[in-house]
Structure 1
Amino acid sequence: MTTRPRASILHLDLDAFFAAVEQRDKPSLRGRPVIVGGLGPRGVVSTASYEARRFGVRSAMPMSEARSRCPNAAFLGGRFGAYRAVSAVVMDELRRLSPLVEPLSLDEAFVDLGAGDDLDLSVSGVRAIGERLRDTIRTKTGITASVGAATSKTLAKIASEQAKPDGLVVIEPGSETEMLHPLPIRVLPGVGPATAARLARLGVKSVGDVAQVEESELVDLLGEASGRNLFLLARAHDERPVSSERASKSISVEDTFDRDITDPALLSALVTRMADKVTERLVRAGHSGRTVTLKARLHDFTTLSRSATLPGPTDDAREVSRLAVQLLKDVDASNGVRLLGVGISGLSDWVQDDLFTSGGDVREPGDDDGPDLDAAVHADRRWVPGMDVMHTEHGAGWVWGGGLGRVTVRFETSATPPGPVRTFAADDPQLSAISHISEAD
């Protein structure tokens, strides 16, 4: 059971956030697959629109795989000025409801409605609050949001996932286990692929199955903290408060392997993948970091930690991966590694504008069907597909593709119909990069 008698914890998640902002601001991309992320050979997907997800594209997927799965998508670099502007509007709306708002990233937050003034916290009242909030966000930002509300943070987040896209789910007090138990165990926080595989060996596939397992058996299988936490969550017991003082000091990813790994090439590939994933989480939280840490648990359960600190904060997956792989070289893995982890600490709110750019060759765009699918970043990193530009004669637009000393621009904004495409010399003095374009522009 839970300690709250009312569904007073709300979780909001903006739908396919980065891609949705791009579709809002680029009329020619509305209703089309859009993939935002690193455009170089080692780039990863940050966000895929729902049109792209139908092809199996997902966050943290290598961009090369995304291109293979959805070759007709628009592949764009990030515009964090635009994303931060939308996020600021959304967080302000949440704080109008309650002073207790816990942002998890630019596009996701918990709200404790119980701390608000004179709010109707009946089931119908909470549902009305959620609908008004979604309508306000859509009106003010042009972006849709999914909202969940429940008696705990875990259930509120699960409810918002059930509501996606563009929906609202309120889990009524007293119905928590009825809703929770039929769901797969991966919906519970902390249950990744490795934990799910261990539980599957016990015949545990649903949350209800977990609830039938004794706490001592879960502790033996997963350890004291993880086992007890899973035992409680499977019974809808989560007493964590919403905290407006939440401030992550580090972001990390780790995995435990079924068998000890000795192959240096495989270990290096795993570290690289973890570095990409942890950087993607860093970016989504709107942070950068200075210290990269590698964690390794050896065959004999000896746990090693190696760190390296940069002179300044970074959000570049290549730099994080380079340092993590270098740290791996200091670990003697000859007898096997059973766990690896990569973390970033020394977090800062400073974020460079070209978070996703990673260089690479570019080609000329083809016909007028959409951005050049192989276009990455010009050699001087000046023109990034998706970035906002201004031409003294043609007005505002965005980079559609480029290469061979040229750049192609589609001239449209969120307030115009789909616009024409024109190509210029990459050093055309009439063309300049600008910060994101609002509807007022």
Structure 2
Amino acid sequence: MDKVIMHVDMDAFFASVEVVDNPKLKGKPVMVGGTTERGVVSTCSYEARVFGVRSAMPVFMAKARCPEGIFLPVRYERYKEVSNVIFSILHEITPYVEPLSIDEAYLDITDVNDKPIEVAKFIKNKVKKETGLTISIGISYNKFLAKLASDWNKPNGLKIITEGMMPKILFPLPVRNVYGLGQKSAKKLNDIGVFTIEELYKLPKELLIEFFGKYGSEIYDRIRGIDKRKVEISRERKSIGRETTLRTDTEDKEELKEYIWEFAVDISETMHNKNVSSKSITIKIKTASFVNHTRSKTLNYYIDNAEEIYKEACSIIDELKLDEKIRLIGLSVSSLKENKIEQLSFY
């Protein structure tokens, strides 16, 4: 039996929650994220997107494009509260729910008796009734196509891609719509005259492997409707991190280390709550010209306390050659493992 995979994605989630909580914002260009010139946009309403505003765009740039925009701070606890309501609705349908983020998930509804279209309508109606929000849903026989379908006619979209529609339904789409092809990979294809999935489809597998390594084989299969990834009920957390945009650009390493200490304390507390340790430390910086750099260090042992995380992070910073000032600093830990506690025997 073919799988029936659903991808659900809340529409402009943070901004939509703000509009529901304050109806006076309805129909206005709302941007949630940093409220200072040095911040970035986390999410923006569709009214703001008309002006060319996008997620991860610096606030000063968003303000230049949309001077009448309303900028609001992030209220993560409120969004998490609404997210919990939505995920409870999803779990009413099936236990096979794979969260991708606070506002996005895959569902495997293969064994659900109702028709997929009826399941989608039930979710959309119940989410609207209980939260006031709209949700876009894509349905297909694998993850790649389900996610593609949910993006098809946002907001409040509903799209089904069947096996009989493949591959022609994909042909007009730009190559950037292929899951796994980032901005750089898409540009690499554009540079050789490949802009649409139809043009990508005509390339031999060997060329894609030469371009993208072993991942090229997955891209080749994906645009032919082949994606064997399963819906995973529990997703292993791969990293824990914190970052911030600095109040003013700096090249003072001691100032950067002050932020690193705050991050290390926060990350350590999260690790203790989740009962995990790490042996990989990564420093992320963004320069004044908006270029990102990362530097990592892998240890021969696992750590979880703030002092050790801070010490290893500082050793990375000491080795950095800062050719220009820094506007953003971040710290993350990865290569996580669960701390298992052995119970001692009395005998």
Task: Work out the CA distance in 2 between the residues paired with 1:182 and 1:325.
Answer: 49
Structure 2 residue aligned with 1:216, among 206, 210, 228? 206
Structure 2 residue aligned with 1:227, among 197, 201, 216? 216
TM norm structure 2: 0.73
Structure 1 residue aligned with 2:2, among 2, 5, 21? 5
Displacement of 1:324 in angstroms is 8.7
Task: Work out the CA distance in 1 between the residues paired with 2:202 and 2:317.
Answer: 40
Structure 2 residue aligned with 1:97, among 89, 93, 97? 93
The match for 2:59 is: 63
Displacement of 1:327 in angstroms is 3.9
SS in 1 for 2:192: coil
The match for 1:268 is: none
Letter in 1 for 2:223: A
Structure 1 residue aligned with 2:144, among 140, 154, 176? 154
The match for 1:247 is: 236
Task: Work out the CA distance in 2 between the residues paired with 1:68 and 1:310.
Answer: 43
Letter in 1 for 2:163: P
2:191 pairs with 1:201: yes
What percentage of aligned pairs have identical amino acids? 37
Letter in 2 for 1:77: P
Check 1:311–1:76 CA distance in 2 against 1; reply closer, same or farther (3 A cut).
Answer: farther
Task: Work out the CA distance in 2 between the residues paired with 1:311 and 1:209.
Answer: 51
In the alignment, is the contact (CA less than 8 A) between 1:307 and 1:327 conserved in 2?
no
Task: Work out the CA distance in 1 between the residues paired with 2:96 and 2:335.
Answer: 23
Task: Work out the CA distance in 1 between the residues paired with 2:169 and 2:159.
Answer: 11
Displacement of 1:330 in angstroms is 2.1
- Where in structure 2 are the equivalents of 1:21-420 lying within 5 Å? 21-116=17-112, 119-120=113-114, 125-224=115-214, 226-250=215-239, 293-294=282-283, 305-306=296-297, 327=316, 330=319, 344-345=332-333
**Deviation digits for residues 245-266 of structure 1, max 9, x if unmatched?**
11231279xxxxxxxxxxxx9x
Task: Work out the CA distance in 1 between the residues paired with 2:43 and 2:167.
Answer: 32
Total equivalences in the alignment? 287
SS in 1 for 2:152: helix
Structure 2 unaligned regions, length at least 5: 242-248, 250-255, 257-262, 264-269, 286-293, 307-311, 324-329, 337-347
In the alignment, is the contact (CA less than 8 A) between 1:250 and 1:343 conserved in 2?
no
Task: Work out the CA distance in 2 between the residues paired with 1:343 and 1:176.
Answer: 43
Greater relative contact order: 1 or 2 (C-alpha under 8 angstroms, separation 6 or more)?
1
In the alignment, is the contact (CA less than 8 A) between 2:281 and 2:296 conserved in 1?
no
In the alignment, is the contact (CA less than 8 A) between 2:283 and 2:332 conserved in 1?
no
**RMSD (CA atoms):** 3.7
Structure 1 unaligned regions, length at least 5: 253-264, 266-271, 273-278, 280-285, 297-302, 313-322, 335-341, 349-441
The match for 1:390 is: none
Task: Work out the CA distance in 2 between the residues paired with 1:31 and 1:196.
Answer: 33
Displacement of 1:64 in angstroms is 1.2
Check 1:346–1:115 CA distance in 2 against 1; reply closer, same or farther (3 A cut).
Answer: farther
Task: Work out the CA distance in 2 between the residues paired with 1:173 and 1:27.
Answer: 42
